[in-house]
Amino acid sequence: MLPFARRMRKPVMPNREGAALTCVNVALGTRSYVIEIGTDTLRRGLPAHVTNAASRIVVVTNDVVFPLYGAAVATALEASERPIVSVVLPDGEAHKDWQHLNQIFDALLSNACDRKTLLVALGGGVIGDMVGFAAATYQRGVSFVQIPTTLLSQVDSSVGGKTGINHPLGKNMVGAFYQPKHVLIDTDVLRTLPDREYRAGLAEVIKYGIALDAAFFAWLETNIDALSARDSATLAYAIRRSCEIKAGIVANDEYETRGARALLNFGHTFGHAIETELGYGTWLHGEAVGCGMALATNFSAILGRLPEADRQRVLQLIQRAGLTTAMPAVAVERMLLHMARDKKNESGAIRLILLDGIGQCHVDGTVDRAAIATFLAQQ
Ligand code: NAD
Ligand code: GLY
């Protein structure tokens, strides 16, 4: 197991009304923050130390999440005694673009928001990424908080400060590294998440086990049925462990310059290509990542790096989570075109995350395009 994937200490502390709450720290010096994980945390709201510095609070959400949780969050934020503004964007990956980012700026400017404004991202990864980017750039940077409401955003996108929007030619191609001040995870909100979205979130949970933590992978093999059934104790552990692993990596390699953070992209080179080619929102991000992980696993085995028994275990876990391992009908040259634009690439070489075993992987920029093309043509 890699040093940064080691089990971290798990402080459990009383929350604002005395109930148990798990906290995971993202250790980034003066930009460190806490991920609070618990039940009923939405109603309890944000800690005072986060809201005290704010002149006003702007909650950005979408038209699916707002009717479900907008009122609860607004009520909880009343304790801050700050003016509260809500901005409701249309739902969906297809709207993670300049036009809708600009709607956030329009609302901030028309409400005369100053540099002490606190933005709150209430929603899944689409809202979280867009609000983070708006916070990074509005008046050269204002504070923001993540309140992730999908499984995917609770275990991945709300943590680590990758923010941005899509471009028609590539996924997440415009953005910034910008850390939130706080992450508030309420596991209760997952009860309203549609099954398809929940399974897509499981892809990112499984990713941590496959790529970085063999013990977590084995735990997932044992518990995948309970996790799929949304058993609350199993879910709470899966979210906490995922956040711990991600927090450890981000603390080690915040800007993805030291090799560690790129490993979190396992499955994403193939996955982003599928997502972009099919059109944003056709396959969910997590579905594309699930398939991309299967492709990266098969390719690692073909290159002689991964034992057959490990390949079988990985594919079985992805399938047991209800995710497809079969590539959609996409022309090889289209896949290669998108993969050639991946942000990990250097000097024109496609860089893939390949497995050496369960829980062990590396960034590989040595595989030539012809070998990738031959592999894809066989899928
Ligand atoms: P999403 O934000 O589109 O949310 C999925 C759907 O669930 C949406 O329709 C949303 O409105 C709905 N929803 C959200 N919470 C709900 C709830 N509690 N109950 C019912 N419905 C709810 O998608 P996602 O899977 O959360 O995030 C995917 C995005 O995250 C992609 O754009 C991807 O690029 C990004 N991402 C970013 C990072 C990062 O590090 N920044 C990591 C992984 C993924
Ligand atoms: N989701 C990959 C990362 O945050 O680096």
Q: What is the DSSP string of 171-224?
A: EEEEEEE---SEEEEEGGGGGGS-HHHHHHHHHHHHHHHHHH-HHHHHHHHHHH
State yes or no: is 191 an active-site residue: no
Distance 199 CA to ligand 1 centre (A): 12
Q: Could you tell me if 127 and 103 are in contact, meaning their C-beta atoms sit under 8 angstroms apart?
A: no
Q: Which ligand is nearest to the CA of 289?
A: 1
Name the pTM for this structure: 0.94
Average pLDDT, the chain: 94
pLDDT in tens, 215-246: 999 999 999 999 999 999 999 999 999 999 99
SS3 of residue 333 by DSSP: helix
Mutation pick for ligand 2 pocket among 157, 163, 253 (CB with most ligand atoms within 8 Å) = 157
Q: What is the pLDDT of residue 21?
A: 85
Mean of the pLDDT values across residues 11-17? 50
State yes or no: is 246 an active-site residue: yes
pLDDT in tens, 250-278: 999 999 999 999 999 999 999 999 999 99
pLDDT in tens, 200-217: 999 999 999 999 999 999
Q: What tokens does 115 get?
A: 């540099």
pLDDT tier for residue 40 given thresholds of 50, 70 and 90 = very high
Residue partners of 45: CB distance under 8 A and separation at least 6: 16, 73, 76, 77, 79, 80
State yes or no: is 221 an active-site residue: no
pLDDT of 129 higher than 90: yes
How many angstroms separate the CA atoms of 378 and 313, rounded? 21
pLDDT in tens, 331-373: 999 999 999 999 999 888 999 999 999 999 999 999 999 999 9
Ligand 1 within 6 A of CB of 285: yes
Mean of the pLDDT values across residues 112-127? 98
Q: What is the pLDDT of residue 142?
A: 98
How many angstroms separate the CA atoms of 291 and 312, rounded? 14
Q: What is the pLDDT of residue 206?
A: 98
Given 36, 204, 244, 287, which residue is catalytic?
204
Q: What is the pLDDT of residue 318?
A: 98
**Which residues in the chain belong to E strands, given as ranges?**
12-14, 20-26, 33-38, 57-62, 84-89, 118-123, 143-148, 162-167, 170-177, 182-186, 352-357, 360-364
State yes or no: is 115 an active-site residue: no
